[in-house]
Structure formats: C-alpha cells, structure tokens
Amino acid sequence: MFKYFAHTKADIEKMLKSLNIDSMDDLFDELPKEVILDSDYDIPSFMSESELRSYFEELGNQNKELTLFSGLGAYDHYQPAVIDAITSRQEFMTSYTPYQPEVAQGTLQYIFEYQSMIQTLTGMDVSNASMYDGTTSTAEACFMAAAIRKKDKILISRTLNPNTINVIQTYLKFKGLEWDFIESKDGVTNLENLKKKLDNDIAGVVVQNPNFFGIIENYEGFSEIIKDNKSLFIINADISTLGVLKTSYELGADIACGECQSLGMPVSFGGPYLGYLATNKKYVRKMPGRICGYTNDLEGNRAYVLTLQAREQHIRRSKANSNICSNQSLMALFVTIYLSIMGKRGLKKVNNLSYQGSHYLYDKLIETGKFSDPFKKPFLKEFVLETSLSHDLIKEALLENNIFGGFSLASFGEEYENLINFAVTEKRTKSEIDNLIRILEGLS
C-alpha cells in the first residue's frame, strides 16, 4: 500500500479477472526477456512525509541564504505575497497546456494578459506566450531573423552577458548558422565596428540593454544602419527595466527578447525563470512558441484560444522554424500577477529605488579610493568596477557577513578579469548598503 496508488488487493484482482490474466506481469509479455529487470532499482528506500521534511530541511541547511548585491541575470526583487497565493492554486498549477479551451480559460486569459503586458513594456506589436529563459529566447530570436531574412549570419555585440552569448553560439553552431562579434569600446557596443561588419550575409544584429556591465547603451543610429542593410535588429533587455527605459520598439527593434525573472520570480538557484519574445506583426508567422488570441465562443462570449498553430512543431513537424513545444506558462502567471500588483507606478518606483540605491553605493565605493569605474557610463541597478583589492578578499569578507556581492567577472572570461559586479534592488535597505560599504572600506 502506498499513498499515491489507490488500488487495493481486491481492486487488482478484479481488474486482472476482467482481463483474463493472472498477474500484471502478463501485460508485459511482449518485452524482450533478456532486458526485463529482475531486481529493484539501486536507489534509496522510501521516506515517510516527516522523514522527507527533515531530510530536506537538513539539505536546505547546507545552503546559505545571502544578502544579494550581485545580479548578472538573476535579481533579488520583491515578490508580493499575492503571487504565491495565486500561483499555488491547483487550477493553475496542475492543469495541462490549454488545448481544450472550454476548460482552460483561466490559463488562456492570463496568457493573453501576459502578452498584453509584454506588448506594452516592449512597445512591440505582439508577444508570444513565453519561452524557457532569456538566453534561449535570444537564440530563438536569432533563428527567427535567419528564417525571415533567409540569411545565415548573426552579429552579436560583445557587451551581451557571456551566458547569453554561449547559448546563442551553441544554438547557431548546431543549426549550421554563422556569427561574428561586434567589438565593444569603453563598455559599449562600437558603432563603427558594427558598420564595418554589416554585409549582405547578416540576418540579424543582437545587442543587450542594459548590457553585461549594467550600462545603459545609447543605441541611437543603430536601427537605421541595420535596417539599411536589410538586417533585423534584436534587442535583449531585462524586462523590468523597460518600465522606465526606452522601449525595444523606440530603439527600433524588430525582435525584442530577454529575461523576465526580475518580475516576481525568486532567484531559485537559476530557475524556473521565463524568457519573453516579441516582434512586429508582420513577422508573427515566423515567431516560435505558443500564441494566444482573442475570440468568441458560439454564444458570443469572450474567449481565448491558442492560435496560428500552423507555425508550430505539432503541425509542421520538420518544417517548423522551432522545435519548441511548451512555454513557461506558470512563470508567465508570476509575471502577470506581479505586473498587475505593481502597475505602471509600482514598476517605475521599483526602478527608481534600485537606481537610487545603486548610485548611492557606486558613489560611496568610488569615494573609498579603492574602486574605480573604467567606463563611466550611465547605469540603472547594476554596475561594474575595477578595484585595487583582491577579488577573493572581497568575496571572503562579504561572505563572513552573509553577503553575496562584488562578484568577480573573471569566471566569465579573461577579458573581464579586472571587473567586479554590484547590483542593488529596491529590497536592499540603507543599513544593508552602508554595512557593505563599511566592510569594503575596511579592506586593504
């Protein structure tokens, strides 16, 4: 007997009798004898619920929750309590992909609302129902550009987060597409280098804003040059920042993509997060993933359905532009609830508080004389500095105080080895920031 199996001995006997067999094993008589397991798996024995609780509590205690002062793709923003309350409802959490719209209007409606919110934040015409994460949504954006322009090469700015660059490279390499880099200068994408590298083979150009260094780049002039070359402009942005920064549309993007973790998701040791993807309506048929559309039922009631499915793998099979099947639906619900709670003012305020805290920290660190800014460019909530202090010393000193911050970018590549990263969200209090400054000031 086991709590997740309902069958009693009598039930099983009754069922076997109806099938005219003696044992459940008879149902497997087509399995080749030589491969049938004759013993239990070599895995742990079962645990009772209380044992599980203690076991995972003990495991959890081997982890340490730290005060987060670095970001690099995972940001410690506030999560309204409402989010967990709603997303844990079984109607949302346990349901399947909404292929039967009559009993899935809850899911379909929040996807429609999610798409609407991504639409207004990016300024683009249409968002899909979401992607796995910001890196894969950017790689899929590159595929889209190649399919739309029927060209094989992508230009990638060096100021993208190296994680994103790595994922794009993996995707392009296996698909048989090519890429080249636009060099950076003083921490930003070099326009002259872009001009030099744009040629007839280029399907798309990918940039990030704010970039890997936290810098808000000035992309004025980019879109004109890229469009003159008949290439597509792909802009990756942390979606939260679009509450205040120029929208992807205003910057001239043809495809907007990036990470949504900062909208209500805990850092979760890296996932689940959610990637967004948005574009102009004229490219919608080349867009990967699920798309929800408004319609009516046969009594004229409002209804929502998955639509334009002829783009997708379950219809087009080997002719599909993407193999993607699922979205990160429940995480799209996180985003939808978060943005409903924050509204236009709240999102602006979150950005402003993060801006204020990060700039205060930045100024104070520069004042210590131990840190310098190699780039001196505008930033929002995240910045990089050079320091005369050893990166390990900073790491150790902060850890002693249960702080994760000043993350050394050396692990991302030699070219970044002098840089350390700080991020400040609205969650960081003045006393936490002052404490951080005090610790770093005392190091030598």
Nearer to other proteins, 229 or 404 (CB): 404
Residue 184 beta carbon to other proteins: minimum distance, rounded to whole angstroms: 18
Give the span between the Cα atoms of 19 and 13, in whole angstroms.
Answer: 10
In the numeric block, which tokens belong to residue 218?
């000035």
Nearer to other proteins, 73 or 194 (CB): 73
Residue 373 beta carbon to other proteins: minimum distance, rounded to whole angstroms: 16
In the numeric block, which tokens belong to residue 323?
């193999």
Residue 388 beta carbon to other proteins: minimum distance, rounded to whole angstroms: 22
Nearer to other proteins, 163 or 190 (CB): 163
Residue for token digits 């094989």?
152
Residue 205 beta carbon to other proteins: minimum distance, rounded to whole angstroms: 20
Nearer to other proteins, 58 or 228 (CB): 58
Nearer to other proteins, 126 or 205 (CB): 126
Nearer to other proteins, 129 or 155 (CB): 129
Residue 194 beta carbon to other proteins: minimum distance, rounded to whole angstroms: 18
Nearer to other proteins, 432 or 440 (CB): 432
Give the span between the Cα atoms of 337 and 330, in whole angstroms.
Answer: 11
Helix (H, G, I), strand (E, B) or coil at 257: strand
Residue 264 beta carbon to other proteins: minimum distance, rounded to whole angstroms: 11
Nearer to other proteins, 229 or 349 (CB): 349
Please, which contacts does 388-397 make with residues 24 or more away whose CB atoms are closer than 8 Å?
A: 389/440, 389/443, 389/444, 391/420, 393/443, 394/420, 394/440, 394/443, 397/439, 397/440, 397/442, 397/443
Residue 160 beta carbon to other proteins: minimum distance, rounded to whole angstroms: 12
Give the span between the Cα atoms of 443 and 394, in whole angstroms.
Answer: 8
| Beta bridge pairs of residue 76 | none
Residue 294 beta carbon to other proteins: minimum distance, rounded to whole angstroms: 4
CB 156 within 8 A of CB 182: yes
> Three-state secondary structure along 139-190?
HHHHHHHHHHHCCCEEEEECCCCHHHHHHHHHHHHHHCCEEEEECEECCEEC
Cis (ω within 30 of 0) for the bond into 378? no
In the numeric block, which tokens belong to residue 357?
């805290």
